[in-house]
Structure 1
């Protein structure tokens, strides 16, 4: 099989080591090169997040990822896309696709498409963000037809702090955000290390868990028209015979 290369535009430096960890679990012919965009002000605040996802900041990494052979591009940032609302987030990836000449998406849309792929319509959100930013993610999901039955905000202002969270804090957040009505739990921050905890998260909660870095890779592969399965990366990457009935 030919090499599949998914280009990732990642803001700053927090949990980007999730991507090589995911790559190791996937087929050896999948590459996930990362270009670090200039984060500007590191703040989970609406104005800073809008600026972080500005077209010129994203365009800076496009040529490098094209030269790396990327077949698709994903803006590996949730808050820097959904904060613009559904229309603004769509405009953002349209501009990115035009700049790159490649299919493009963002982590926000990756969550929606991943939930749809698993046949999930009711979710709980376990977020590191402050309340207002978490509310904007809820709105974004609802606008895409995904019902949010519960949401937990942690009030963390910077990606730098989120990047220091370890296994216990990740598991605690997921458990605190879960709700019996939810068919899946969504953890929307790409600054949060989750790739090493997906199996334990799903075993603990007894349902699919979708995390930002996991869905970002899945979305890039979907755009590159590459199906990939892996153990240890949750229900989303489970082989089709392990998927929920009806899929």
Structure 2
């Protein structure tokens, strides 16, 4: 049994994780610990507080007791908002506190883009435009070319968590660009685990979503590979890079 640990802020799209666990169809357990979200707001100051070291460290002991072998901070905006260097320090601090390999959803996106060997990506973010642009900056720091950024302007994760499949698909369509090799949907509050085959069929290219890449990153940290077609192109390829 491989046990993966995730620190998830608040309660919005966390039911993607048991769905993904089921779709993995193997001896993999996904253990989720909820962190204190503080103020639910896609606003830079609130996001910086949400990902503060003491908030992440508070959930680490429970993951250790569960037998987790790696831990991923399952929040995109609460990591990239710190910038490339700040997000690295956040992960280093989490690894020290947890005593195990650690990462975040922001780095999961960067590693997944490299895994698929794509360079040009389009972003469909639920966030306000200023926060969405910070994610694009993070991707550029990772070496990606961002061909377009579409922000939905939603302030709270709670509202994002109410979105259904049609809204997710509409965001992906709006974000897509003809020259983009993949479309990225960066919000772990967004339910996407049940929509990945449809998204990729409609767009005709890989679609990377926050909870999907977060689980893939947890597996990458422990050198596990699972073939899971229902989780999209990312789960159909052999690993190409190691961080």
TM over 0.5: yes
Superposition map of 1:165-184 within 5 A: 165-184=163-182
The aligned residue for residue 24 of structure 1 is 22
- 1:176-201 Cα offsets, whole Å, 9 max, x none, are 00001100000000000000000000
Distance 2:85 2:43 in 1: 19
Distance 1:71 1:228 in 2: 16
Q: Could you tell me which runs of 5 or more consecutive residues in structure 1 were left unpaired when the two chains were aligned.
A: none
Distance 1:221 1:137 in 2: 23
The aligned residue for residue 60 of structure 2 is 62
What RMSD in Å do the two structures reach over aligned CA positions?
0.9
The aligned residue for residue 151 of structure 2 is 153
Distance 1:148 1:133 in 2: 15
SS for the counterpart of 1:189 is coil
For residue 138 of structure 2, the aligned residue among 137, 140, 151 is 140
Superposition map of 1:31-50 within 5 A: 31-50=29-48
State the Cα distance separating 1:239 from its structure 2 match: 5.0
SS for the counterpart of 1:9 is strand
| TM-score for the superposition, normalised by structure 2 | 0.97
Q: Label 1:239 to 1:112 Cα distance change in 2 as closer, same or farther (>3 A).
A: closer
SS for the counterpart of 1:186 is strand
- 1:38-87 Cα offsets, whole Å, 9 max, x none, are 00000000000000000000001101001101100000000000000000
The aligned residue for residue 217 of structure 2 is 219
Superposition map of 1:118-133 within 5 A: 118-133=116-131
Q: Could you tell me which runs of 5 or more consecutive residues in structure 2 were left unpaired when the two chains were aligned.
A: none
Is residue 230–residue 239 contact of structure 1 (8 Å, CA) maintained in 2? no
The aligned residue for residue 88 of structure 1 is 86
Moved over 2 A (4+): none
| TM-score for the superposition, normalised by structure 1 | 0.96
The aligned residue for residue 69 of structure 2 is 71
SS for the counterpart of 2:183 is strand
Distance 1:168 1:206 in 2: 17
Q: Label 1:239 to 1:85 Cα distance change in 2 as closer, same or farther (>3 A).
A: closer
- 1:191-224 Cα offsets, whole Å, 9 max, x none, are 0000000000000000000000000000000001
State the Cα distance separating 1:167 from its structure 2 match: 0.5
Distance 1:104 1:147 in 2: 26
